[in-house]
Amino acid sequence: MSADSLVSQLKRGLDAPICLTWELTYACNLQCIHCLSSSGQRDPRELTTAQAKAVIDELRDLQVFYINIGGGEPMIRRDFFDIITHSVDNSIGVKFSTNGAYIDGENARRLAAMDYLDIQISLDGTDAATNDAVRGAGSFDTAIAAMENLARANFGPFKISVVVTRHNVAQLDDFKALADSYGAQLRITRLRPAGRGADTWHALHPTADQQIDIYRWLLGHGENVLTGDSFFHLNALGEPLPGLNLCGAGRVVCLIDPLGDVYACPFVLHDEFRAGSVLDPGGFTKVWRESALFTSLREPESAGACASCGSYDACQGGCMAAKFFTGLPLDGPDPECVSGHGEELLSASTATAPRPTKDHSRPVSLTRKPVRT
Amino acid sequence: MTPAPNSAVLEASESTTNDDVMAADSVEVLEELLVEEISIDGMCGVY
Amino acid sequence: MTITLESSCSLSPQVALRPEPFGALAYHYGNRRLVFLKHPDVVAVVKNLANHPTVGATLDACGIAAERRASFLAALDNLTKSEIIHVG
């Protein structure tokens, strides 16, 4: 089998995900303006501890190798350590994403003592002004404090995860330096118009020129930088970026939300991309293997409107979440198509972009103080 | 932790097609790519 | 290439092998590396390494034809580099 057919194997789907993303809670102490899950308030229908452990048991039987835990802020859950311990004890590795608010000295030491546990701290600016404009007052200091606590606890390498925006493209070198200073790995990911991002995307997403900067930076400096494989739409610019350049949604990975609903990926929290629920008869396994949505995602894609463009093989038409939430058809160009085809369509389009089907944002607080739920 | 290399495709073996340089007692080598490492580290939506 | 027919190897205890229609997925919990084993025969060989004194004996036991052995040695060499198997 050549590399091509390996990717086509993955596109046809696997009998179980390699890993999956699991948002443990919609509760969050922050209100980031681009939050893909529109988090803030806990949903009363959140999975219970017992239900969460049952999901883990099912994933163990499927031999899912690891889970990527997020939210909201996953450490807000009182059973957070209980859940992640259950996972690791059942040979399912845990990688989790956090804003760092709950990584005090004691928790840092507790996390450092655990087997197979990777941590990713979210940060969207290398200075408080840039970061806090997106993530809220004090969030920069919180994230740095968490990194300091992890370092002091000898946690070992962690990841710093950055959503690339118009305002931090110029800071890529600084992000790399920051990560290097902690012996951490930098991860940069693409902003999608998902969740609260639907409202801020137009002002926040990188400009066309900045996309070229990102592409060049990744080619020149990105050897040790993870990208969430989320910049493959830039491959139309030339030499392909390293990575699988594959959308794994519903094929290799998927998302479980705090209520147990299963979606193709974390960027499409919308009924259109909901495959089922872990609470349905047959559980997660049946959803993964038999849901109509995932079955259709595993069918060979057609280039659709992109068929006449020579770049389709490189860019694969981009990201379905980006298209969906900007109101563009899925079988056409990405809104950030580097040849401008998406932008053309957007200006010509009168379609109203779909709204996220779940919104757990907290009502605006006049005092703007982060609230611990 | 070092990241996994991306999509490292290694040739299983080198085969020659020129009969003149094949050793007299060699068997024809069947070239198969039997293993392939991939990195889905930070695959979209994944940390 | 470091692996030869005389090498003695075994699968790392930190590796999980998950069967797939094409062969198997090997995941190393220590270094987080993921490798596709793309043929059931290479899966069988990897699983049997510890049961035989040498790679050559393992290939014999798994009935691997002579013309395929170079590919298998290269594969095992690759697996050593990702620490999926180790020598000794």
DSSP label at C54? S
Percent of chain A with pLDDT over 70: 96
Contacts of C38 in chain A (CB under 8 A): 1, 6
Q: For the segment A219-235, what is each residue's pLDDT rounded down to a tens digit?
A: 998 888 998 778 888 98
Q: What is A44-107 written as a DSSP string?
A: TTPPPHHHHHHHHHHHHHTT--EEEEESS-GGGSTTHHHHHHHHHHTT-EEEEEE-STT--HHH
- Can you give the pLDDT at residue A367? 58
Helix (H) or strand (E) holding A203: helix A197-204
Using the Cβ of B18 and the Cβ atoms of chain A, whether some distance falls under 8 Å is answered with no
Contacts of A229 in chain B (CB under 8 A): 40, 42-44
Q: What is A115-133 written as a DSSP string?
A: SSEEEEEE-S-SSHHHHHH
The answer to whether the Cβ–Cβ distance between A91 and C27 falls below 8 Å is no
Could you report the predicted ipTM of this complex, rounded to two decimals?
0.90
Nearest to A229 by CA among B4, C25, C27, C17: B4
Distance from CA of A17 to the nearest CA of C (A): 11
Q: For the segment A296-317, what is each residue's pLDDT rounded down to a tens digit?
A: 999 888 888 898 888 888 888 8
The answer to whether the Cβ–Cβ distance between B40 and A266 falls below 8 Å is no
- Can you give the pLDDT at residue A11? 82
